[in-house]
Structure 1
Amino acid sequence: MSGIRIVNASETVVHLSESGLATFLSRRKSEWGNIQSSQADRIIGTVKALTNDDLHSDMWEMHSTGEELLFLLSGAVELFADEAGGASPYQMTAGVFCIVGKNVWHRLILKEPAELLFVTPASGTHMRPYQDDQTA
């Protein structure tokens, strides 16, 4: 077997284990959302967003086991962080990195079609519904 593996990023995410092994997993979160992992493990993938549904803008997300790295490859999004005093907006355009801190509730709103690369903890992701009566 060759030491090189190539797959379609639109169908796959990568599980990067604490030991440094990289494993391709189906993009369906039902398959990678419950993998056995340590707090150091990460999931790496991309999202092509044409609508807010592609970014689950109707949900707040939080990672209790580590920080999340976002890199906007193209387009524009607005990130809202649920911080003391309300939801704070942060503008992201192509070429921008963003680190979302551990335990920070956040959500993304699409401003123009975008492609986003994410490096997120493999475990400890929590979701809660966005309520229209909240700030963001």
Structure 2
Amino acid sequence: MPNAPFPMQDSIIAYGVDGRASLVEQPLETLEESAFSHLVGVIEFTDDESVHADHWEIHPGGDEILYVLEGRLLAVIEHDGRPEEAVIAAGQGFVMPRASWHRLKVLEPGRLLFFTPTQGIALRPVAPDAVRHGSPATA
């Protein structure tokens, strides 16, 4: 990674298992998962699709750290088979616990700083009725 400033907006940095950081191109599907352990970046969220609200996500490799720079998000965490919700507003951070199924929904468009462990990330679709009716029910 060059020793020069770069714009964080829409940038993603991969933190390698070797302890090196590198600026990566999107889409992330092109990255070799075993080569890095964490991602950090800033994304703009405008609607539920921009935070893949139609899928539950899990990070068995560690906690995920979120910091809302602007806007508001609804965090939904599945705990003992039941959804728990929290609103994250601008200026607030939130920790998604390791190995917990979770998802986000956009309440007000904005920007999000994230620090995500990558090992073992998995996605699971939300039940169609839950997406259509806005319910946080699981698949």
Q: TM-score range by the shorter chain?
A: 0.7 to 0.9
Report the TM-score, using the length of structure 2 for normalisation: 0.84
What is the CA distance between 1:10 and its match in structure 2?
A: 4.1
TM-score normalised by the chain length of structure 1: 0.86
Aligned residue pair count = 132
Aligned match of 1:74: 70
- Give the Cα separation in 1 of the matches to 2:78 and 2:50: 20
Moved more, 60-69 or 126-135: 126-135
User: 2-side partners of 1:7 and 1:42: how far apart?
Assistant: 19
Q: Alpha carbon RMSD of aligned pairs, Å?
A: 2.0
Cα distance in 2 for residues equivalent to 1:74 and 1:132: 29
Residue 59 of structure 1 pairs with residue 55 of structure 2:
yes
Unmatched tracts of structure 1, length 5 or more: none
Which residue number corresponds to residue 111 of structure 1? 107
Quote the residue 2:125 is aligned against. 129
Gaps of 5+ in 2: none
Structure whose residues are more often helix by fraction: 2
The percentage of aligned residue pairs carrying the same residue is 23
Seen in structure 2, the aligned counterparts of structure 1 residues 20 and 128 have a Cα distance that, compared at 3 Å, is same
Partner amino acid, structure 1, of 2:79:
E
